[in-house]
Chains A and B, each alone.
Chain A
Amino acid sequence: MNLHQFLTPIQDICRRPGPFDRIVLTSRVRLARNLKDTPFPGRASKQQREDHLQAIQPVVQALNPMKKGFSSDLVSLKDLDRQLLVERHLISRELAKKKQGAAFVLSKDETCSIMINEEDHLRMQVILPGLQIKEAWKAVNKLDTLLEDKLPIAFSGRYGFLTACPTNTGTGIRVSAMLHLPGLVIAEHMQQTITAVNKLGLAVRGLYGEGTEALGNVFQISNQMTLGETENDIIERLNKVVVQIIENEENARAKLLESNPEMLFNNIGRAYGILTNAHVISSKEAKNLLSLLRLGLDLGYFPDMDPEVVDELFIVTEPGHIQFKEAKKMSPEERDIMRATQLRERLEGMAKPQMSTASDEDPPSQDPEGAEEEEGPSES
């Protein structure tokens, strides 16, 4: 079976429901583990990496949750397939750059993914839809416990699990939630939110993790500290923060609707107009507009639309997925045209947004130009 036959169609993945999935796109827990007394991938020779891979890969594939899964080394993976896996968050950008001795294993339902010879010998992650941090931890913890009987894992009573980078030492855990926060962005409360979250020792990053931009109003919140706290402490804290942010986002949306509905309608209406009519569109623009469409859906302005379509478009309009669909390498210009075509086709027949304020049943008739300059109310 090749990768393309194995991967679940993106529309099916987007149809998997999760708690609070209006705002929380996915929850993810990753563990970093290493073999003891042998060089980490960054220090190891090609031969050593190859030996480590031979030792780890069959063991991982035989674990119960990974049975009937898919595994491949990076050497035999085409560039486009690497990109596809990164866009689906199944492998990291770092692993996608590696060749000799690096590999990954996916579980049948693609919720578990294990990377071999990334920065550490083993990086195991479980990714679930919606707010399911605790469930993801349970699943990845189970994998880890199964593995510790079968491989000599580097562990010290004092420092915990030993990792290549000291920032992961201890629990080796990275807990993260991917949040869609258009309300907080439009109300200009995001900077405040980031500052508050940082104070709690948590990081806020963009869509693809470290060093990436928050495209489409999607933010990733994750822990930074891994030593001196239990996994449960870290998970509880992150969960609490995410629940608070969900509430803030809901409040921001409600306040915008109350104080400045025209601005909101304008943003959503324009997003609809461009997405259904554009002939050339960049990945960045598409994401930012799809975010507004999603907001419109959440607010009930597109009653006839299948809510998963936007999530699906969010992924299939990524460069790798566009080229995968067309089964060829394309220049950025070609991709921008193809992206616009796909968006028009997929959104064809989508009814205009039905937006109105509570007091006024008809859409506002005044010219909404210039409304963008107005500021949202500041939160207490």
Chain B
Amino acid sequence: MSLETLWLALLGLLLAGYFVLGGYDYGAQMLHPFLGHREGHIEGRRPGPQAERADRNAALDAMAPFFLGNEVWLVAFTGVLFGAFPHLEGSLLSGLYPLIVAILVGLVLGNAAIQLRGRAQGVRARRYWDALIVFGGALPAVCWGLVLGLLLHGVPRRPDGSFHIGLGGVLTPFVMACGVTTLLLFAAHGAAFVALRSGPDVALKARQLGALLLRAAAAAAGLALLLTLFGAGASMTNRAASAVVVALFAAALAGAWWSLARGHRVRAFVATCCATALPVLLVGAGHHPYVLISSAGTGLTVDHAVTDHATLKILSAFGVLVVPMILAYQAWSWWAFRGPTGRRHPSYF
């Protein structure tokens, strides 16, 4: 396997990792008002600063220890995009300008709200932060879906390789369907995560909500698939590979729904993890060797997008050391905070 392919795989891994980890954050953010306050924690508290913290929320507690470690997958994705694929980075980010700005605004507000909500004084301030948390989950979720839709469909590249996406490019049925699918999928994924980490009452509620959301996500994804079959959707370069990934995606959705309905929380979460990661594989494998298409079979290839070979070799020397370390300490943090949330967990966010 060539170095270029390895770095493309790493780029895909980082983006998929971000979709899986950031995805449940956004899902939990969107659902946190519905998954309610943890019961039995308001009375009988010690006086003092603890008494002010009658603001616990099961969904936010579930993701809290992992939150800071999740968002950096996106940062690493951007870093690798710039370092290894500078010619893709420049045209992709500036071409998708309005969508990227919307994602960033959502992320900034949502992330700040999650971390500062616990510092709020009084009910009104907390409501304001709560609203921002929902907004900061929903906006990036929709916009990432729109970005996926555009990447699957192809973008109008000019001869110099640049492009610009306006409202007209986004407001097509296929791209909108992708946006809605991702929104619902991330929400369902968040529900599966909350179900996995919370006490029985919250978990039951999260399972019911998750199953409902999965059905809706499947319907939206089905619409996108239908549009594609009728020629108004994705234009895939590798049809066979795409069909396999889509079949796996459908199986993951069905498996997640079945497991949630039957109460297999671990299985359900594994399935929603697969479902959130597979769209990245669809873009990557479905278009290979193109990384950015204008239509099926034309566009920017990996070889044109990649950095100079000398730079890539230096990056690889670091990557061989650093990537396994990243995976190791991330796994360590997941292990250290495993188990359901509860009283013996320090609460901070």
Note whether A and B form a binding pair.
no
| B interface, CB within 8 angstroms of A | none
